Each structure stands twice: as C-alpha cells, then as structure tokens.
Structure 1
Amino acid sequence: MGLFNRLWKDLRTTPVDTLVRWQEQRFLWLLMAFVMGGLIILAHSFFQIYLYMAPCEQCVYIRYAMFVMVIGGLIAAINPKNIILKLIGCISAFYGSIIGIGYSIKLNGIHHAVHNPDPDSLFGVQGCSTDPTFPFNLPLAEWSPEWFKPTGDCGYDAPIVPDSVTLSSFQQWFVDLYVQSEGWYLIPAWKFMNMAQACFLAFAVCLAILIVMTIAWGIKLSRGRH
C-alpha cells in the first residue's frame, strides 16, 4: 500500500516526469509482452488444442497483431532508455494494437451476423478464408500452421470435438459450457463479451496507455529542447 501511495503521489505531482520514468523501466514493456504473449498461448494451448475451438482467419490475424506487440515489448525491454530500441517498441506496439482493433471489429461484425436470426444479415459478410494473407505477405501459416493456419469458421467458435477423442471430466465441463453458450464468451452463462470484443478491449487498453505514455514522452522531449 505504501508503494502504491508513493506512485500515486508522484503521478499527481509530476505526471509527465513520472510517466516518462515508468516507460524507461523494463516493467511496462515486459508486462505488455507478457500479457499479449499469455493471450496467444491461452488461445492456442487451452482453447484451440485442449478445448478444440478451431481458429478462424480473423483469429489468426489477431494473434499476429499480439505477436508483433510481444516482439516490440521484448526489444524495448532490452534497454528502454535507448531511443532506438524504445522507438521500435513504440512503433510495434502502436501498429499491433491498431491493426488488432481493426481485426477485432471485423470479427465482431461477422460474429453478430452469423448469430443473427435474420438470414439477410450474412449478405456481404467477408473475411473468413482458410488461406490467410498476413501483412507484408508473411507466410506465417506455412512457417507455423499450428499457430497461424485458420481451420475454423469466423463467428463460430464453439468446441468441435472429434469423435475419436475421449475427454477428461475437466475438459468435458468446459466443452459443455461453451457448447451451451454457442461459442466463447467471457461469461458464458450470460453470453457476455464475445472473443472479438474481449480482444478489442485488450488492444484498446494497450493503445490508450501507449497514447498517454507517448504524449508524456513528447512533452519531456519538448522541454529538453527549450
């Protein structure tokens, strides 16, 4: 509690200097890399492999955006006081969060369309292929198909368990939970916040923090020049 109070006091009294000091430490950059990397591993290892939720095209694009942020965070964390490394981290984080928001919005629109009882809602819906095209034509689906090859349909993220598989009781509980909710939700029983919306929130929070930190850095540099 004492540490929190001191940090809060520093933030109130010298907000710009405090924010710049925070971003020149490894913690925030490693935290971003850890959170985004954790979300990728959770999506792949738990939901895709353990619960048989096949990723769609937009899902693997979201993974790509998160992966870019992981790389940027790790590069900046080498030495956050080095301007070049910090710029690489900032650019990667901004790029990943912005395109991630775009992919999440597109996936949310598709999710809404496929779950809409009106069949006309599917008219014009695009963005669900098993042959993804990543930015810069990166062949990620060829390099690492288990992580970046889409095998599912956009908007349909309920578990599909092969007939030959015998689930443990723990697996069965989760599978039943998401089958009953007809897909992934943060709170399945209430169908609260689908996967696209949860990813949007994660990217948006990161982007907001990045904007605040960059503004503080800009103000600090401007003061130095004067």
Structure 2
Amino acid sequence: MGIVNKISSFQDSRFPWILMIIVSAGLVLLAHSFFQHYLYMPPCEQCVYIRFAFLCMTLGGLIAVINPKNLVLAFIGYVLAFWGAIQGILYSVKLAKIHAAVHSDDPFGVQGCSTEPTYPFGLPLDKWAPDWFLPTGDCGYDNPMVPDGVELSSIQSFFINMYQDGWYLIPSKQFMSMADGTLIGFGVCFLVLLAMFVCKVITLVKKS
C-alpha cells in the first residue's frame, strides 16, 4: 500500500495540478498562436472541440490547485479534468478516423466536419471567441493555407515547408498525425488522473 499512499499524497500537492494546467493551456496556446496564426493552419471542427476539452482540464486544475487537500475543490477539479480528458479522447478518435478516411484511396462520403460547431451545454464559444473556437478549416486537412500576398519570414517558410503535407510529429516520415498525438495525450492524462483518484479514494476509505 506504500505506492498508494505516495500517489495519494502526490495528488494532495499542487504540483500535478499545476503541471496539468501548464500542459493543457500550453497546447491550446501553441495551436492558436503558432500553428493557426504563425503557420496559417486553420482549425477544423474537431480541432476546436479538442481545444475546448483541454481548457476544461485547465479549469479543473485551476479549481483543484486552490487547495488540493480540500475534498470539494479536488472533487470539482477531478470532474472537470475527467470530463475534458474523456471528451478529448472521443474528439481525437473521431478526428483520427476522418484523417485516415480523407487520406485513403476513397476519401468521399466523410462525415463529421462542419463550420457551425455545437459545444456542450449550448455554450456559444464560437460567438464569444471566434478566433479561438470558430472552425475555419476542413477536418483531416491540417496543411498551411498561406493567404495571397503574405510575405513569409525565413523561419515561417521553414516550418510551413515542413508541414506542407500536414501536421505530423515527424513530418518527414508522416509519423503520428495531430489526432493521434492528442489521443495519446488525453489518454495519458486520463490514466494519471484515474490512478490519482483511485489512490485518494483508497486512502480515504482506510482512514474512515
């Protein structure tokens, strides 16, 4: 039971929650500022849903980090973080299927991509912050779309040429698409959260 107590104590500290905040919010900022604006990769419907899922995890971390030892705050943090991770997994799986379909020999008839998003709870995020949450790209096609007349810097040209065939973890090998990457990321987060939560519950039961 030593490992259980260690993991339970770990989640009582602010470190795991701060780490989740930094990773989740950082990935959203990277997608928006670097890939969308700097490299002209417009987000698709599933992409903005993935951003929303990461921000739900960020919000959960912000609530829990206030006082991780407070059961109410920790519970709210877990609910938001788990919900974001699960939704993120579902969005990533759907995007991965679309990506595979549009890059197959028969790309026609692909469903699941719209320019009119529908967010959970009816949140009009695309109206509140269209630059962040309004999809302007096609699902499965994450190539740079440089507007006519734009003068690129040498660094921009380097990265745009790197991603000309789409976003991949290793572009030259077309290894691991963005959807595959986010799926792994959400999956790892879910497993870590699950381990923390289960160990916390076991510790509380033992104390009672």
Specify the TM-score bucket, using the shorter chain as the normaliser.
over 0.9
Aligned pairs for 1:41-120 within 5 A: 41-119=29-107
Pairwise CA RMSD? 0.9
State the match for 2:200 in structure 1. Answer: 217
C-alpha distance in structure 2 between counterparts of 1:60 and 1:127, whole Å: 13
State the match for 1:162 in structure 2. Answer: 147
C-alpha distance in structure 2 between counterparts of 1:194 and 1:54, whole Å: 16
Identity over aligned pairs, percent: 55
State the match for 1:8 in structure 2. Answer: none
Please point out which of 149, 152, 156 is paired with 1:171.
Answer: 156
Give 1:118 shift. Answer: 2.4
Please point out which of 173, 187, 193 is paired with 2:176.
Answer: 193
Cα deviation 1:10-67 (Å, max 9, x = unaligned): xxx7111111111011110010010000000000000000000000000000000000
Cα deviation 1:159-187 (Å, max 9, x = unaligned): 010012100000001101111xx100000
C-alpha distance in structure 1 between counterparts of 2:76 and 2:19, whole Å: 16
Runs of 4+ in structure 1 off by over 2 angstroms are none
- Aligned residue for 1:43, secondary structure, equals helix
- Aligned residue for 2:163, secondary structure, equals helix
Unmatched segments (≥5 aa) in structure 2: none
- Give 1:55's aligned amino acid: P
- TM-score for the superposition, normalised by structure 1: 0.90
- Give 1:176's aligned amino acid: N
C-alpha distance in structure 1 between counterparts of 2:205 and 2:59, whole Å: 28
C-alpha distance in structure 1 between counterparts of 2:152 and 2:202, whole Å: 56
Is 1:144 equivalent to 2:132 in the alignment? no
- Aligned residue for 1:78, secondary structure, equals coil
Give 1:126 shift. Answer: 1.6
C-alpha distance in structure 2 between counterparts of 1:87 and 1:35, whole Å: 20
C-alpha distance in structure 1 between counterparts of 2:145 and 2:112, whole Å: 21
State the match for 1:4 in structure 2. Answer: none
- TM-score for the superposition, normalised by structure 2: 0.98
Cα deviation 1:176-209 (Å, max 9, x = unaligned): 1111xx1000000000000000000110000000
C-alpha distance in structure 1 between counterparts of 2:4 and 2:95, whole Å: 37
Please point out which of 11, 14, 17 is paired with 2:5.
Answer: 17
C-alpha distance in structure 1 between counterparts of 2:39 and 2:113, whole Å: 21
- Give 1:141's aligned amino acid: D
The count of aligned residue pairs is 208
State the match for 1:205 in structure 2. Answer: 188
- Give 2:26's aligned amino acid: G
- Give 1:44's aligned amino acid: H
Cα deviation 1:103-145 (Å, max 9, x = unaligned): 00000000001011224xx33x221111100000100000000
C-alpha distance in structure 2 between counterparts of 1:135 and 1:48, whole Å: 23
Unmatched segments (≥5 aa) in structure 1: 1-12
State the match for 2:22 in structure 1. Answer: 34
